[in-house]
Amino acid sequence: MQSLGVTGYEQQKRVMNLSLVVAVVLLGAKVTAAAITGSSAIYSDAAESVVHLLAVCFAAWALRLAHKPADETHHFGHDKVAFLSAGFEGAMISAAALLILYEAVRQMIFGVSISNLALGLAITASAAGINLVLGLSLLAVGKRNGSPLIRANGHHVLTDVWSSVAVLIALGLYKFTGWVWWDPIAAIFAALNILRVGYKLIRESLGGLLDEANPAAEQTIRTMLDAEVAKAGLTHHNFRYRHSGRTHWVEFHLVFDDSLSVGEAHTLATAIESRVAGMLHPDGRVISHLEPKSAEHQVESWEGR
């Protein structure tokens, strides 16, 4: 793990701005395709893109707020807004899925009429290809920078890809079989998949906002801490960890020999904190509590754990 600092933020801003531009362009293309074909599957794809554009606008704002430094009213910074953005994106995805289901059922009841099929297929296929490249890029940048906000946007873009793939399959089957009901059936399957992704994003967002434990991350950080504490010939306990979207927060008790002065213990503790924080990506905050061996097993009830 290494800190990317400003470079990582600039990279995230660039890819988010690109996502916003692509969302606007593809929305226009899909609305055009839906209007000229009358396909419920293409309509569902366009509806998902409307919601996606709203979510990207919110995510772009949240990205800038998440990197705003701590101030007098937000002592721990603003990066938890990344989880809020991911949850909002999940809610928007779910809303789009319900809209798609409604339109598909409506067309199954009142009938389906499709025209200008070749042009609709060409526009949808082009949109799917562009979104596939963009979605994979967003996921890569989000993973590299530890950003749930960018990853959520990447997942949303990829749901758009699967919607488009469902459209292509449905219209392809209609072209070769002449059975028009492939169109709303594909829209329903696409909507159910989008609902699944939306639920997952909302679930992850709530977990982040409520500081849900992450066993894999905890084990990685604990291994780092164990190594640094062992180098100094010390022990530690009461390890706690949480992740606020961009920042890793680590707390633990360091146990020192009673004969050590406060100044000496502080110097050792500061060195350990600094080395552990430096290994956390993209940003780490490490706080230790200095404890003499004679009080090592004393219970601090005020900590609530």
> CA distances (Å), 147 to each of 79, 100, 124, 202, in order?
9, 29, 29, 15
CATH 3.30.70.1350 occupies which residues in the chain? 215-303
Residues whose CB falls within 8 Å of the CB of residue 95, separated by 6 or more in sequence, listed in order:
51
> CA distances (Å), 285 to each of 117, 252, 263, in order?
56, 12, 21
Nearest to 248 by CA among 79, 67, 85: 79
Structure tokens at 85: 């953005």
pTM: 0.73
pLDDT, mean over the chain: 84
What is the share, in percent, of the chain residues with pLDDT greater than 90?
A: 28
pLDDT at 301: 61
Structure tokens at 40: 């419920």
pLDDT (tens digit, 9 = 90+) per residue, 191-227?
888 888 889 889 989 998 888 888 988 999 999 999 9
39 has a pLDDT exceeding 90:
no
> 5-209 adopts what CATH topology?
Alpha-lytic protease prodomain-like (1.20.1510)
Q: Is the dihedral of CA 48, 174, 39, 100 positive or negative?
A: negative
pLDDT (tens digit, 9 = 90+) per residue, 50-89?
877 888 888 888 888 888 888 889 888 888 888 888 888 7
- Please tell me which residue, 18 or 10, carries the higher pLDDT value: 18
Q: Where does the pLDDT of residue 300 fall: very low under 50, low under 70, confident under 90, or very high at 90 and above?
A: low
Q: Do residues 208 and 64 make contact, with C-beta atoms less than 8 angstroms apart?
A: no
CATH 1.20.1510.10 occupies which residues in the chain? 5-209
Pick from 92-101, 133-142, 235-244, 293-302: least confident = 293-302
303 has a pLDDT exceeding 70:
no
> 215-303 adopts what CATH topology?
Alpha-Beta Plaits (3.30.70)
Decide: residue 99, CB within 10 A, 0-12 exposed, 13-18 middle, 19+ buried: middle
